[in-house]
Each structure stands twice: as C-alpha cells, then as structure tokens.
Structure 1
Amino acid sequence: MKKANRTVEGPDGLVYTARLPLSSATLNYLADLIRGHLKKIGSRWRALPAGKVATIVLAVLRCDQRPGDLAGGNGVHRTTVTRWVREVIGLLAARAPRLDRALKKIARKGGGVVLLDGTLIRTRRRTGADNRKNYSGKSKCHGLLVIALTDEKGRLIWVSATRPGRTSEITACRHDRLTAHLRAAGLGAIADLGFVGLDDSGPDADPAVITGYKAARNRPLTRGQKLSNKALAAVRAPVEHGFAHLKNWRVLGKVRTDPKGATAMVRALLVLTNREVAR
C-alpha cells in the first residue's frame, strides 16, 4: 500500500485574500504618486501595475504583512516587494510638512496653540553596543523616540526625526529648536509634565510651552494647581488621538527594519494618516 505524501497547500503555497481598512482615495493617491515617479525616472516596465504595487505597499504598512508572504501571492520576489516599499516610503516622506511651514500654516488659519507630546516606537531588540542607546529606561523596552505636534483637534501637523529611546523629550525638542520656531510663528504649545523646563524664556516673556505644575516631595500641589493641571489635561487630550491614528499603521507596532530608516517611515505614515483622517 502506497502512501500519498502530497502537501495540502500545493507546490506554490496557499493564497488568501484580506480586506484593507483603508479608503480607495488613499489607494488612488498612492497609485498616482507611483505613476508620476515612474514617468519621471523613465521606467517603462514593472512586474505589476501601479495600482497593484500601491495595494501591496499599503498591506505592508497597514497590516504589517511580511514582504515574503505578499511576494509569493503575487508572483514576484521578496526583494522586489521590499524595494517597492522603500521606494514608496521615500516618495511619501518627501511630502511630509516641515516644522516652520506647518506652524506658519496654523498661524494663518487663526490658531493660537498647538499640542505637543512624544511617544516611543518599539523596535526589535538587537545585540551589541550599538543598540544600547535605544533602550528606554522610562518604558523599559527598546525603541525610538518621536516628538509630534497636533492642532487643537488632534490632527497631526508635524513629526520629528526618530531618536534613540534613551533620549529625553526635552533634549529632542531642543535639538529641533522647537521653542524658537514657536516664537517665530507666534504660537504656543501645550504639553504634559514631561516637558517642564523646556521653555527657558525670561520671566517677562510669554511662555512658548505651557505645562502643568509638578509636585515635589516636600511641596504638595495646592487646590488651584490641581485644577489647573486638570484643565490642561482636558485641553491636551486630543494629542493622544493623533498618536492613535498614527499607530493604527501596524508596521509601527514593532519596527523590525534598520532604525536608520524609521524617520522616513514615520513621516510617510504621517502623510497617509492625514489623508485618511481628512476624508
């Protein structure tokens, strides 16, 4: 009696379909962006049409699908999918708003304040001394720090470059000269207690960064200070919605690629997030 040791999935593996929780407007925008890039560089042929390439890239970014799995289901090589993802990320990151232009745009619309906060994007733990700087003692994990600004409704307007997880939020803001840009635009920023001490302006100048009151061991907060902290917390709550929209892209759940490319990825996702939120 002979045994049939055939694989159930066949020689090419199983292929399944899934729904992307994104709008068709985002897909069309990305496909048009790819077509324009191909026309600019004079590329006459690709293994798949621009619309299909856009769908594959969105699947990688939104659902954190493995490039090898998508490559097998579309008849291309894994390195081809990886190259498409990097190419599209570069195109989108180039369209991310700059800090000074984003603040001037808010000022032209009549806004008076922006919301400031930072978040940690987790990365894969790697061995060696080069990865020690990515360990965050505050979050007790390896990651990259990102500073973001939103408007009063929580819509993201700017994200900073990614920095090692051990970097403090104040140090990252000072590296970007955030307070100087805020004063140049005539705006103020509302932040949490992690940014206390960022604004080092004189006592007679208007503060560029507004924070709450921090209690000390021998100096508890008064009732007025507690009410002030509660009011500021209610005002800055929408900034958490902005980070929630950004982290809906599951590729940011744990970055497995080279951390050097994380800045372009976050800025590319900022462009896509704003398109999804604005529709």
Structure 2
Amino acid sequence: MAGVITASEPSWIGPFTGLSPRQFNKLITALRREGADPVRKGRPWSLTLEDRVLLVAAYWRTNLTLRQPAPLFGVSKSAANRIVAHLGPALALPPRRRFRKNTVLIVDGTLVPTRDRAVAASSKNYRYSTNHQVVIDADTRLVVAVGRPVPGNRNDCRAWEESGAKTAVGTTPTVIADGGYRGTGLTIPHYRRHKNEELPAWKEDHNASHRKVRARVEHTFARMKSWKILRDCRLRGDGVHHAMLGIARLHNLTLTRRQANEQLNQHAPAHLRDIV
C-alpha cells in the first residue's frame, strides 16, 4: 500500500522535522552509522529508514494517536507502534563527553504532562507530570544533556542529582541556574536572607545579567515544546525520556542550521542577503 507521506518528497521533511533535506540525509547517514538500521532475520521493515524516521518525527510533532498517522505512511497502527518503539531510542541525543575550557552551561527543569502514572506525579501544573532537567550551552544554546525523568513533585535541587544531569555535566566550571537550586553549588542569583533585607545595587545588577543569560534555557523549552508530544505524552515507561532526547537532537540540528544561515547571511554581499 502506497502512503501519502514519504521522505522521498522533500516538502514533507521540513514541516515534521524542522530540517532541510540535506540535513535530514545527514541524520539518516549518522543513524545508519550508529546501527539504527541493522540487517536482521525475519520480515523486513515495510518502510525505508528515511520514512520510519519521518513517521517518528511526525508522531512527536503532532501527538496524534498512531491510528491516525499510520495510514498516511501506508502501514498499520501496530507497525507504526513498533517503529516508534524501535527508532525512538536510536534518535536520542548522544551524551557530550567533554566540554571546551571555560564553558558556561545553563540548567533548568521543565514539566512534561505524562499519562503513565508509574513515572509521574501530581505537580504544580495540576497534572501528572515528569520533571526533566535540561542543560544547554550558554554560548551556542545547544542542548548538551537531558536528565532521566523524575516525578513532577520533585523539586529541582533533588531532580538535579536524581536525574543524572549532575553526573552528565561532570566538573564543568560554571553552571548557571535559578534560585530553586540553592545548596547545589551552582551559580544562582543573589537572594535576600530575610524579607526586610535590601540587596545592594551591584547584586541587583548581577541578578539582572543572570536573568538575561538564563532566559536562553526558557527559549529552548519553548522551541522544544512546539513538538506537541511534550504537552501531553501518552508513551509508557521510557517513552517520554526517549521522546525528550530525540527532540533535543532534532532541536540542535535545527538550531545549527539556523545559525549557519545567519552567519552566511552576514558574510554575503548586500545584494544577495535577501536570497541566501
């Protein structure tokens, strides 16, 4: 059965993945190199690796039940479910093993509403959610680590350690966080010791600069949550973690593409900037 949506038609790639066809092909090459499409015994996949990746991205982007996008790719709901379960972990963001000297990172937690109550808890957003600790590079704004989900009623101090985000960062010199990370050793804003205390002007100036830099992680959350599965995840078990890691990887590729285009546009002659 021929599907309506296919990666062989480049016009479908951008809306679902945010990538250009060239970047999408590079991603497919990287996935093959990482062993995401091994030769296996038994019945082969009914879709090519390109179409399977596009199906997973479409599912994460739209958060439709698999019964809806599966016919558009020419497969059954069960086949689509197997594809998501198989490729979700393969698309995960690879861990950053080392950081540049003087790297500055920013960490914050975000709540993802999750249907699986075994990994979620009633949270301050009045829904059963998981707390995800996300670490980005303050300079490039790329996601460098995503902690394992913890129940949403955990505060950020506890989630920072329990999720593994602290271990993933290692001994990076500077990690910026908000005031919810007191006692963790991270760089947080100056705060009043008691309600009647007034902060000196230099501390207020430091806090203002801190807020401007830390806002970058909030912008990252906004971009990542344009993928609707992070607004109401129906996946069970590690599914929400795999979706978060996969979306972080696609977010990084999209951001890298945007930054490359901006640099190219800056160095292009004035009469060519509008068409670069």
Query: Given the alignment, which residue of 242, 250, 258 partners 2:236?
Result: 258
Give TM-score scaled by structure 2 length. 0.76
1:214 is the counterpart of 2:191:
yes
How well do the aligned residues superpose, as a CA RMSD in angstroms? 2.9
Q: Quick check: 212-221 or 153-162, which moved more? A: 212-221
**Deviation at 1:185?**
3.3
1:195 is the counterpart of 2:181:
yes
Q: Counterpart of 2:214 in structure 1: which amino acid?
A: R
Q: Distance in 2 between matches of 1:181 and 1:30?
A: 24
SS at match of 2:245: helix
Q: How does 1:1-279 map to 2 (within 5 A)?
A: 19=12, 20-21=14-15, 22-23=18-19, 24-32=21-29, 33=31, 37-42=36-41, 45-93=44-92, 96-97=94-95, 101=97, 104=98, 106-107=99-100, 110-124=101-115, 130=118, 134-136=121-123, 138-153=124-139, 154-175=141-162, 185-199=171-185, 209-215=186-192, 216-279=194-257
Taking a change above 3 Å as real, the CA distance of residues 114 and 121 of structure 1, as seen in their structure-2 partners, is: same
> CA-to-partner distance for each residue in 1:88-125, whole Å, 9 max, x for gaps?
112122x5215xx1xx2x22xx3332111111112248
**Deviation at 1:160?**
0.5
SS at match of 1:212: coil
> CA-to-partner distance for each residue in 1:186-215, whole Å, 9 max, x for gaps?
41111111112212xxxxxxxxx1111223
Preserved CA contact (<8 Å) 1:47 1:76: yes
Q: Distance in 2 between matches of 1:165 and 1:71?
A: 31
Taking a change above 3 Å as real, the CA distance of residues 266 and 81 of structure 1, as seen in their structure-2 partners, is: same
**Deviation at 1:74?**
3.4
SS at match of 2:190: coil
Unaligned runs of 5+ in 1: 1-14, 200-208
Preserved CA contact (<8 Å) 1:147 1:159: yes
Taking a change above 3 Å as real, the CA distance of residues 258 and 249 of structure 1, as seen in their structure-2 partners, is: same
SS at match of 2:175: strand
Preserved CA contact (<8 Å) 1:119 1:145: yes
**Deviation at 1:180?**
6.8
Give TM-score scaled by structure 1 length. 0.75
Determine which structure has more spread, i.e. the larger CA radius of gyration: 1
Taking a change above 3 Å as real, the CA distance of residues 26 and 54 of structure 1, as seen in their structure-2 partners, is: farther
Match of 1:203 in 2: none
Preserved CA contact (<8 Å) 1:120 1:145: yes
Q: Distance in 2 between matches of 1:178 and 1:225?
A: 28
**Deviation at 1:258?**
1.5
Q: Percent identity?
A: 26
Match of 1:3 in 2: none
> CA-to-partner distance for each residue in 1:49-88, whole Å, 9 max, x for gaps?
3332222222111222331112223332101101101111
Unaligned runs of 5+ in 2: 258-276
SS at match of 1:121: strand
**Deviation at 1:231?**
1.4
Q: Counterpart of 2:94 in structure 1: which amino acid?
A: A
**Deviation at 1:181?**
6.5
